[in-house]
A and B are shown apart, each in its own frame.
Chain A
Amino acid sequence: MKCQQCDKQAVFHITELESGDVRELHLCEDHARAYLNQAEGGGGSDEPAETGGGPLTGPLTVGQTADELAVLDKKACDMCGITFFEFRNQGRLGCPHDYAQFEKELEPLIANIHGATRHTGRRPEPSATGRPEGTEELTSVIGLRRDMQEAITDEAYERAQKIRDAIRTIEARWLGGPPA
């Protein structure tokens, strides 16, 4: 695993609790020392050092400019609507579709964390519901639900009804209808 701040090997893995939020930091010896000194000077372990919005604030790839980052931050998920900026601040993604939507942007980050960019472990059984194509279609329900809410707000009930039928069709395909 690489340090989140430079290209050296990360040897310190720090977990910070911040108002109930967990952040993980992976740093080389030098950056860890700098971070910890800063944290100690900042008033004890209850108040982690302010690094300006979490572990994902630093450049994601070497040579990324502030302008590029600003453009990137505005990108939003088609399904749940989370922006890349929101993700970088919270350290949590908005929905499963984000992994497809932000695939290119997430790649260097995931490579940093795991030292790998491809899953090699278990997968859902071929007969089971959790197949990749099922995930792709099911995540569209997240966007459809937002559309439906919008239609209801606009009092476009016919449109809302149509969207609800579309949601039910997709859910029935992958969940086999509501459980008895």
Chain B
Amino acid sequence: MTLESLTQATGEWLKGTGPESDIVMSSRVRLARNLAQFPFVGRATEPDRAEIERLLRERIAMAPVGQSLEYIDVGRLEEIDRQFLVERQLISREHAEAQGARSVAIDRLEQVSLMINEEDHLRIQCMHSGLDLKGVWEQIRVVDDQVGRVVPYAFHERWGYLTACPTNVGTGIRVSVMLHLPALVITRQIDKVFRSLHKISLAVRGLYGEGSQAMGDFYQISNQTTLGRTEEELVEQVGDVVPVLIDYERRAREFLVRETQQNVHDQVSRAFGILRTAQTISAEETMQLLSRVRMGVLLGLIGDVNLADINSLLVRTQPAHLQKLRGLELDTKDRNIERARYLRQHFEGTGPTTN
């Protein structure tokens, strides 16, 4: 597997399939694990980090899951390739921007990824398209068991799995779903929803994880605590709230169609129009407009466009993807021109609907 072959594939989380995929983009679980015989990554010396990387790589290769994984030496990648893996959600931004020996092992379906020397020695991640937290948990549990048989995880009778940051200690689990909530944003109900999520100890983040603004109405909901409850309970905690959010979003979409049919039709048509005709366009604006068009497709206001296409454009118009598709490094100004060109080309032949 090369990064070039990844460029051509769509990747698991943007397939646009799976249960409730009109609203739930992806379901993800990650586990934080550490080796007992080394300092945590932040305090490890460079030789320590190289040794941790080597040991984990060799040990994981001994596990059955190791047979289906490909290794990428993140430390040796060009910046654009690291950014590319971030855009695909296969590594975190922190992992891309860190220093020293670090790598990632990815399975061919882009469902499983194991980051070595992120904040913790090992971060196992599993992701499925649509709403499938149970399926994700079943899969990652098996991977964790297999790796646990060949790697001595740091574990404490009282504190559970030991992590560099006390906010992850215990289960080391982060359960998250990425939701597309444009109608709740348009109807200005989104803040109210977030406040009630915070009250039940759930965190809300933008598309590209911690610290980033939510782009294009995509939000990640995840558990905030990791200790004192079992993994299954934490999976349920996040899972239980998703149907409620889906219901709110569906009702808001119905409301928009019922009460403001012309208005919403106008908005999504204009968004579609800009995407089809712009000569230069930023990543942020593209994301925002694609979000509106995605809703328009789901409401039957835009024909000739399918959901998987929109999902694929969401990632392919990101800076690193765009440059890899073009085969050229481009500065921001040229990227905006190339992005507009790519979008025009993509939508060629699709006209405005008469619906």
Contact = CB atoms under 8 A, between A and B. Distances in A.
Contacts of A11: 195, 198-199
Contacts, number: 179
A94 B39 contact: yes
Contact of B198 (A13, A118, A128): A13
Interface stretch (A66-74, A109-117, A150-158): A109-117
Contacts of B169: 99, 110, 114, 119
B154 A20 contact: no
B333 interface: no
Contact of B155 (A80, A115, A130, A179): A130
A115 B225 contact: yes
A110 B161 CA distance: 14
A35 interface: no
B119 A129 contact: no
B112 interface: no
Interface string B256-280: 0000000000000000000000000
Given A92-B164, A95-B40, A114-B228, A124 B153 contact: yes
Interface residues of A, number: 57
A142 to B, nearest CB: 6
Interface of B: 34-40, 42-43, 58-59, 62, 94, 97, 119, 141, 144-145, 148-162, 164-167, 169-171, 173, 195, 198-199, 201, 203, 205, 210-211, 224-231
A131 interface: yes
A65 interface: no
A142 B39 contact: yes
A118 B149 CA distance: 24
Closest 10 CB pairs of A and B: A116-B228, A119-B160, A130-B153, A17-B211, A129-B152, A138-B36, A96-B154, A114-B227, A141-B37, A138-B37
B198 A116 contact: no
A138 B156 contact: no
Contact of B225 (A1, A82, A125): A1
10 contacts: A13-B224, A20-B94, A92-B164, A92-B165, A94-B40, A99-B156, A116-B170, A122-B231, A124-B155, A135-B36
Given A117-B228, A131-B155, A138-B37, 19 more contacts: A22-B211, A93-B40, A94-B40, A95-B39, A96-B34, A96-B162, A114-B170, A114-B227, A115-B225, A119-B159, A120-B228, A121-B171, A122-B144, A122-B231, A124-B148, A130-B148, A135-B154, A142-B37, A142-B38
A174 B152 CA distance: 7
A20 B97 CA distance: 8
B228 A115 contact: yes
A178 B170 CA distance: 29
Given A92-B40, A134-B36, A139-B36, A15 B156 contact: no
Contacts of A121: 160, 170-171, 173, 229-231
Nearest to B155: A130
A134 to B, nearest CB: 5
Given A114-B228, A179-B62, A24 B97 contact: no
Contacts of A95: 38-40, 43
Contacts of A103: 158
Interface centre among B160, B210, B226, B228 (most CB of A within 10 A): B228
A135 B230 contact: no
B226 to A, nearest CB: 7
